[in-house]
Chains A and B, each alone.
Chain A
Amino acid sequence: MTLRRLLASLLLLGLVLSTTVTARALDKLDRLRLAEEELLYLPNGRHIKLMSLGHQALFADLFYIWAIQYYSNYERKDRYRYVEHVFGDVIGELDPYYVDPIWLGALILSVEANDLEAGLRLLDRGLTRNPTQWIFPYLAGWELYHRREFERAAVYFGRAASIPGAPPVTRRMRAGMFSKAGLLEDALRQWQEVIDDSASDETSRRVAGLQLRELALKRDLATLRDAVERFRNENARLPRSLEELHRRAYIQQVPLDPNQNPYRLDPRTGEVRSTAGRMLGGE
């Protein structure tokens, strides 16, 4: 009896050991990895919805968690081919209201895959499905800002700002993009709108006030310097004062700087300056 028990125990131990050894040996085998081909047959979310039997949101979560792990593996080459499909067609179709996968997918596309347009397409799809989610055009605006496409960024920030409930920063960003694009008049109008908007908060109004001062300074300096240049070209000398520029109709009026002080013209060099510029970090 004791011998049988001993033999049985030894047999069990042997089986456990051999299973462990086999498992370890299997792990060490250099198996062919399918890489991105494994995604080739990943069906559309609408088809997976059929299989989910009413648990499509749970399936969306599971696909999202899987996608995070999948795209965190930097050893995979050419892993960006199906990002739009995974995040837009699969997860997006399973749970159209799920915001996180859309912005993460867009981030992977624009930052890691360097495919800005695909990232924007994904964010656009997110907005189409969720017209109240200002975060999608807001993120699209930031992606374009990083690529220095300020005018397109302004359009996206404007779209975000037009969605009810969007925070004031969206309007500030829109106005800021016009400034960055060098469209001074548009920027001045946008910043003025931020000040006039009753929905704007104290921070937005303060930022808008500073921006308006800086842009007005830039605009005046550009106008005055241009007038000085034209005067020099036409008269073969520099103007003696800003009043002379006004008298000779090179400028419509002699402006005051944002601190209500006159601009200063150096008649020897033709340089126009403002004391307000130092305070504003400008000239």
Chain B
Amino acid sequence: MIDGLAARVPPPWTAIRAIALNTFREAIRDRILYLLLVFALVLIGSSRVISLMTVGDENKIIKDIGLSAISIFGVLTAVFVGVSLVFKEIERRTIYTLLANPVRRWQFVTGKFFGLLAVLALNVTLMSVALFALLGFRGASPWGLLPAVLMIGIELTIITAVALLFSSVTNPILAAVATAATYVMGHLAWSLQLLKARVDSVAGSAFCDLVYWVVPGFDRLDIKTEAVHGITLPSGFLPLAIAYGLGYAAVVLFVACVLFERRDFS
């Protein structure tokens, strides 16, 4: 009897995969996604025109604009699509149907996370192909930018997890504001060490340290400048940065799952 029941309960990844696939399909039907993608592709294309206004290396400008476009539009996609993912299911009440099935809440959140991540991976790939093609057409080697694109992907993974965390506990507007604030704080985290050096009190100094270690240190993952100038990264940087980024995203996702488990829908 117990064996028979066990046979009927699907493994957790089946539900996660099904939700992720569904999220992916749903997200790529979203108009805002196309709008952002078209905007990014237009910007990457127009970087050629902007580069004409420079004196010196035009490819440097194209690379900078291209990488920033991939990053900025990736973040916008993660925020705008991510914050409404869970909320939509609650608003449409489809969450009840879903959770009535043998799907645990954490599987639902994790599935949503991987679904959005797949969308972002597709977006980043399309934008990168456009940028690499433009550079290749101009005779410049684009391959040195690959580590920077990978790090942008890691940054987007964290932002997706953060967007999902806030989406699990509040409405889309608040979630968008909170995710954007986390993004800004994450990019300013390095300045907290400068602030700490100027703060006299122990409590102030400890607060700076706390915020510095709690917020995502996006500055640690940013290698756009190094990639564009072809500067060699310190040995072991990439594995460490990937481990840090994925570890941070996993922690946030875990918290999101816990909070969602405790949420009362009645």
Contact = CB atoms under 8 A, between A and B. Distances in A.
Contacts of B229: 97-98
Nearest to A60: B64
A184 interface: no
A129 to B, nearest CB: 11
Contacts, number: 58
Nearest to B228: A57
Interface residues of A, number: 21
- Looking at chain B's contact residues, the main secondary structure is helix
Interface string B81-119: 000000000000000000000000000000000000000
A54 B71 contact: yes
Interface stretch (B9-17, B218-226, B256-264): B218-226
B56 interface: yes
A39 interface: no
A68 interface: yes
A58 B65 contact: yes
A61 B63 CA distance: 10
A99 interface: yes
Interface string A82-119: 00000000000001011111011000000000000000
Contacts of B184: 53
Given A54-B222, A55-B68, A58-B68, A69 B188 contact: no
A10 interface: no
Interface size class of B (residues with CB under 8 A): 20 to 34
Interface in A37-61: 50, 53-58, 60-61
Given A53-B184, A55-B68, A61 B219 contact: no
Contacts of A101: 56
Given A61-B61, A65-B50, A98-B60, A55 B55 contact: no
Given A53-B184, A54-B222, A100 B64 contact: no
Interface of B: 50, 53-57, 60-61, 64-65, 67-68, 71-72, 183-184, 187-188, 191, 218-219, 222, 224-225, 228-229, 231
13 contacts: A54-B219, A54-B222, A55-B68, A56-B225, A57-B67, A57-B68, A61-B65, A65-B50, A97-B225, A99-B57, A100-B55, A103-B56, A104-B56
